Structure 1
Amino acid sequence: MTAQVPHILIVGGGYVGMYTAYGLRKAAKRGKIRVTVVDPRSVMTYQPFLPEAAAGSVEPRHVVVPLRKTLKGCRVVTGRVTAIDHANKVAKVRPEEGPDYDVAYDQIVVALGSIARTLPIPGLAEEAGGFKNVEEAIALRNKVLDRLDVASSQPDETLRKAALTFVFVGGGYAGVEAFAELEDMARYATRYYDNITPADLRWVLVEATGRILPEVGPELGKYTVEQLRKRGMEVRLETRLESCEKGHVILSDGEEFDSDTIVWTAGVKANPALAQTDFPLDEKGRVKCLPSLRMEGLDDAWSAGDNAAVPDLTAEPGVFCAPNAQHAVRQANLLAKNILRVVDGKEPEDYKHKYVGSVASLGLHKGVAQLYGVKIKGWPAWFLHRTYHVSRVPTFNRKARVILDWTLALFFRREVTSLGSLQTPNDEFRRATGS
């Protein structure tokens, strides 16, 4: 009687889900295992390049990796896992269309990642946007360029000021890089307007703590604040967004002003969908994991990345791995190997990686980096940022396309065309039909 082929269900197609499936695909092709990846999106987004995609330095299609093309040998389901009953090894899947259905599995990898951590701020849901996927990045790019068009065509000074005021909330990687890259793009774009100068633009970064970019250390964080302020950008430390109803921004320091563009990048939290499972969770809603990436008390359930509390064996007891791409990719590679080891009857290995440092872009040819304790600023840091991240983009196809984008940018000027109408493609047709 033929033994049943183990079925590995991977919930989520982000860093951890995609890289884990990528490490299992050869075994799946050989028929050693079956692999199913379930995610609402059919692509994996390489988030460190979102600021460059928003600024027009990288083609948006080149920062996403198509799951079906990359994970040959694996089954990819475009849908959402709404509940997991691990006691019976069944997950409920909600596809884009049609009724929900159950998927049975032998082993499961929970890679749901994180979502934006928001606060009950008046007007936030209606007026602000996020910056976690390529759609949000391109929508923000289009909006910034569209606001320049509006301001150029608007004689009312109050409306002009609101159109040319851009507010970012959150001083971590996503917020600072998007803030700096888009200011760089907008500053460049003003050369094509006869009535807008860089001095007319107002860029405000709001951070509740006393520092930005904590990952690169206090010295480089302070340097970054100084560099941004030299560019005329406002960095409000120890300041909170109190309200933004109808675009009227109220800060905790008492200042009030109007802004058409508000971006929320103030941290992330574990995906709340984990609450609909019977997995062991910590006080932050993360899955409790062993250093082997197995869930505590379970031999056939695994997790890693933002939604997992993985002990950091290079630090003091009680410290967990930071929720960043550096750990997520390495954890996923080991996770795939550990699953195959378990299938072969062997014991899994522990995850141990000492954090090597961080790199951040502050616009074209500007950046900060801290690697192995060495602090780097300016062009060298920007170059390291690009070099490191292009080495981490999945597949040779995407690496080559990103490098080609950068190469072409050496010979042609930055593209600053807004395609905001792509977000409302039927407006012209509705006007033509009188509806």
Structure 2
Amino acid sequence: MYTALRLQRKLKQELQQGTVEVVVVDPEPYMTYQPFLPEAAAGSISPRHVVVPLRRVLPQCKVVIGEVTALDHTDRRATITTLAAEETGNGAIEVEYDEVVLAPGSVSRTLPVPGLADVGIGFKTVEEAIGLRNHVLGQLDIASSTRDPAVRDAALTFVFVGGGYAGVEALAELEDMARYAVRYYHNIQPEDMKWLLVEATDRILPEVGPDMGRYAVRELRARNIDVRLETRLDSCEKRVAQLSDGSRFPTRTLVWTAGVKPHPILAATGLPLNAHGRLKCTPALQVDGVEHAWSAGDAAEVPDLTAPPPAKPDEPRAVCAPNAQHAVRQSKVLAENIA
């Protein structure tokens, strides 16, 4: 979106004259500010403040709501399955291009954990965030109205898997919301709820460094949140979270935020990828060794020019972390280079 926004400003005259066309393809008619999803889930902000309608901010661009299912860069042709094609079965459309920007971002990374596909709740979209909020409030209603202690205990047990930004923020915001909400339930106290954060490594929030990670653990535990480090989810069949340390937690809420992976469309492009499935890019944000193809954000492996060079010739060069700060800056440079 930011690349298209910059191109819209940079090529304003050409777009008005019709000598240039910018086509934006996305499955949704809006861009989501994912760092705001925890606040939206907790009701701190309205869901409409988390999204930006593409047609409103990109009036000079052609917005196509659909998904690129194939890309033939040799012929510079993209195959797009639109909403109309899905509804009517009339088939996909093909769009020719001169320059292509591949910025599909990332998708949730799941593991073959027994039962995860059946009971796991994702946290990547606005719909999932609002759905999780309603689900948590629904569990409070179940706990308040049942006379079965096992059902009550499971309803008041909330398990979050993954100690990155998404998992920690979602848990903290929803715990805060639920703690406020239980004051309106005559038979539920805040201490009746059990909140659990499961992280496979030895620290949470690795992006902010070890000191801040340890501080966050202390703060969470001070709020009576059970933080399990170096612990994995082995199974969640029959609504029972089985952890690698041997503990078992019957739960009706299991939120999966254990990492992301590049969008699978990248593997279908035939363009050079790194070992993790991201596009190899130059510092100019062009796909390495390929003309007329560009990328940025989570989909791109971009060298970090601010990092010191590797100590040994065979060591890999540092790359930009897949976060919003890099993505927004990359998009501006990318648009300037295309223009």
Q: Shorter chain as normaliser: what TM range?
A: over 0.9
Structure 1 counterpart of 2:33: 46
| Residue aligning to 2:336 | 337
Q: Does 1:30 align with 2:13?
A: no
> Partner of 2:50 in structure 1?
63
Equivalents in 2 of 1:275, 1:52: separation in Å? 33
CA shift, 1:299, in A, is 2.4
State the distance in 2 between where 1:48 and 1:113 align.
14
The residue aligned with 1:94 is 81
Q: Which runs of 5+ in 2 are unaligned?
A: 86-90, 311-316
Partner in structure 1 of residue 267 of structure 2: 275
In 2, Cα distance between the equivalents of 1:330 and 1:246? Answer: 45
Matched, 1:237 2:229: yes
1:124-158 C-alpha deviation (Å, 9 max, x unpaired): 11101111111010000000001001100011100
Q: Select the residue among 171, 183, 206 that pairs with 1:179.
A: 171
How does 1:364-379 map onto structure 2 within 5 Å? none
Query: In structure 2, the residue corresponding to 1:34 is in which secondary structure?
Result: coil
Partner in structure 1 of residue 71 of structure 2: 84
Matches of 1:296 and 1:224, distance apart in 2: 39
Structure 2 counterpart of 1:85, one-letter code: D
* Of 101-110 and 267-276, the range deviating more from structure 2: 267-276
Q: In the alignment, does 2:324 pair up with 1:325?
A: yes
Name the amino acid aligned to 2:118: E
Residue 132 of structure 1 aligns to a residue whose secondary structure is coil
Deviates more, 1:308-317 or 1:240-249: 308-317
Superposition deviation, residue 215 in structure 1 = 1.5
Secondary structure in structure 2 of the residue aligned to 1:185: helix
- State the AA in 1 paired with 2:335: A
Tell me the equivalent position of 2:88.
none
- CA displacement, residues 277-296 of structure 1 (integer Å, 9 cap, x when unaligned): 12111111111100000011
Cα deviation digits, residues 145-181 of structure 1 (max 9, x gap): 0100110001110000000110000000010000100
**So what's the TM-score if we normalise by structure 2?**
0.94
Secondary structure at the counterpart of residue 201 of structure 2? coil
Mapping of 1:187-198 within 5 angstroms?
187-198=179-190
What is aligned with 1:394? none
Distance 1:175 1:278 in 2: 33
Residue 97 of structure 1 and its aligned partner are, at CA, apart by: 2.6
- CA shift for structure 1 position 25: 1.3
Instruction: Say which SS state the counterpart of residue 117 (structure 2) adopts.
Output: helix
Provide, for residues 108-132 of structure 1, a one-character-per-residue CA deviation record: whole Å limited to 9, x for no partner.
0000111111110001111011111
Alpha-carbon distance in 2 for matches of 1:270, 1:135: 21
| 1:30 counterpart SS class | helix
> In the aligned structure 2, how far is the partner of 1:272 from the partner of 1:261?
28
User: What's the secondary structure of 2:22's corresponding residue?
Assistant: strand
Three-state SS of the structure 2 residue aligned to 1:83 is strand
Tell me how far apart the structure 2 counterparts of residues 274 and 332 of structure 1 sit (CA, whole Å): 18
Alignment partner of 1:21 is 2:4 = yes
Letter in 2 for 1:245: E
Quote the residue 2:148 is aligned against: 156
Equivalent in the alignment of 2:281: 289
Question: Given the alignment, which residue of 235, 239, 248 partners 1:247?
Answer: 239
In 2, distance between residues paired with 1:20 and 1:246? 46
Amino acid at match of 2:117: A
- State the distance in 2 between where 1:220 and 1:331 align: 27
Q: Which amino acid aligns with 1:91?
A: A
Identity %: 62
Counterpart position of 1:432 = none
> Secondary structure of 1:235's match?
strand
1:233, distance to aligned residue in structure 2 (A) = 0.5
Note the 1:110-149 alignment, pairs <5 A.
Answer: 110-149=102-141
Aligned amino acid, residue 51 of structure 2:
V
Matched, 1:213 2:226: no
Give the gaps of 5 or more residues in structure 1: 1-17, 341-435
The amino acid across from 2:327 in the alignment is A
* Corresponding residue of 1:421: none
Alignment correspondent of 1:228? 220
1:312 aligns to what SS in structure 2? coil
How far apart in 2 are the matches of 1:223 and 1:47?
24
1:225-267 Cα distance to aligned partner (Å, 9 max, x none): 1111111110000000000012111000000121101111111
